[in-house]
Amino acid sequence: MRVKRYVVDSMPDALQKIRADLGKDAVILNTKEVRSGGFLGLFGKKQIEVIAATDTAQQPESPTPAASLKQAVPAGASFVSHMQEAIAVASRQAAAAAKPTAVSEEPFVPPLAPPAQSTSPAPRNKGKEDLLMDEIRQMKEMVSRLAADKQDGLPYPEPIRKYERILLDQEIAPDVADALLRGAAEEFADEASDRTDESAYRAVRNQLKRIVHSGGRKGIDPDTRIAHFVGPTGVGKTTTIAKLAAEQVLKRNRKVGFITSDTYRIAAVEQLKTYATILNVPLEVVFSPQELTRAFQQLEHCDVIFMDTAGRNFRNQMYVSELNSLLQTNGKSETFLVLSLTSKYKDMKAITENFSRFKLDKVLFTKMDETDSYGSIVNLLYDFPLQLSYITNGQNVPDDILETNEDKLIDALLEERES
């Protein structure tokens, strides 16, 4: 391998010289701006220092346009091997330069600008050796970074990259997984201690926690007067309301009331009436927003009122607007969006976008026991500023519901972690 250094006024000049000296297969290893001439380091002329190399000695060819020179170098492992070979050659040249009697077989004669004052041959040789050693150190650092962080041309270090499959298998969206892993890679690179598989795992966990942890109160606020529950059909709103009402009655000793506007689904009112009878709480049925005032008057003695809404086609803007009129109240209220983890995230996103035009406070996920993938939770919290609240994992009332534990959720997302 031949390695040569050039100090030129512009890159076109360098490309032409490299082409003529090293041939069309030459590659550029490093470029940087230098100053030459001047007085005591001042008023020097700006020039460009270029280090180029070629694998084999070649006969100079007639100059062709500079753009045809190969400025790109091989990616991945081939690039690292190429650089390591160049470092080895340069190291041999540095060793030869340290011996006055030694003659390097591979020319590396930098065209240095004439010094301001004459110097003895010994300092010149030492300066050349120091310059060469600086270049070798820079090349070694470049190889180390590329070998550690971009093996095989991929964007993540190896200890981070293995989590890509796990996240995608959990149905985390590719763009969300990419942003998450890039953040983890940056955190992993900043590790002061040795970069281990355990530190990579911590970095991925931390990035997941930044998405799913919002810091707010997950459950129903103590001063909430009305809790609205909205969502598509079949996600389990009525059963979820019964579970939360039982918690408020049995654990919080609060007086609870029910309002339902779900008069479209067969036996929906009867289902909630059954739960109301079991818990011994009053129930009011409303057929239009105008009847809300009467219902609130009937339940004015209650500490908290749970309002069940009908699950219908949320792509219908007229229905969403009609439902929004049912969410208008005078007291402190919270609106819970209820979504099933068995739904496609594309549908979850469309539903959330429709409701976000009005008022959403928290999101509640049902049917965790019916799926093994929980990536849609990460996707939704990444795309929308919602507070994660409850997760249900069965049909038993009042059991099978709990406030979301972020650490346990992340454990479930990363359960395929390799030891």
Give the pLDDT confidence of 89-124 residue by residue, as tens digits. 566 655 655 554 443 344 444 444 444 444 444 444
pTM, rounded to two decimals = 0.60
Tell me: pLDDT of 321 over 70. Answer: no
Q: Specify the length of the chain in residues.
A: 419
Q: pLDDT tens digit string along 250-268?
A: 888 899 999 888 766 656 6
pLDDT of residue 192: 56
Per-residue pLDDT band for 180 (boundaries 50, 70, 90) equals: very high
Domain 226-403 fold is: Rossmann fold (3.40.50)
pLDDT tens, residue by residue, 13-55: 888 888 888 887 787 877 888 777 665 555 667 788 888 888 7
Task: Report the pLDDT value the prediction gives residue 356, as an integer from 0 to 100.
Answer: 79
- Residues 6 or more apart whose CB falls under 8 angstroms from that of 39 comprise 116
Q: By percentage, how much of the chain surpasses pLDDT 70?
A: 68
Taking the C-alpha atoms of residue 102 and residue 405, their distance in angstroms, rounded to an integer, is 70
| Chain segment 185-196, per-residue pLDDT in tens | 888 877 655 678
Of 125-134, 202-211, 280-289, the range with the lowest mean pLDDT is: 125-134
What is the b/e burial string over 145-171, where b = at least 16 CB atoms within 10 angstroms of the residue's CB? ebeebbeeeeebbebbbbbbebbeebb
Q: How much is the CA Rg of the chain, to the nearest whole Å?
A: 35
Task: Give domain limits for the chain.
Answer: 2-149, 155-212, 226-403
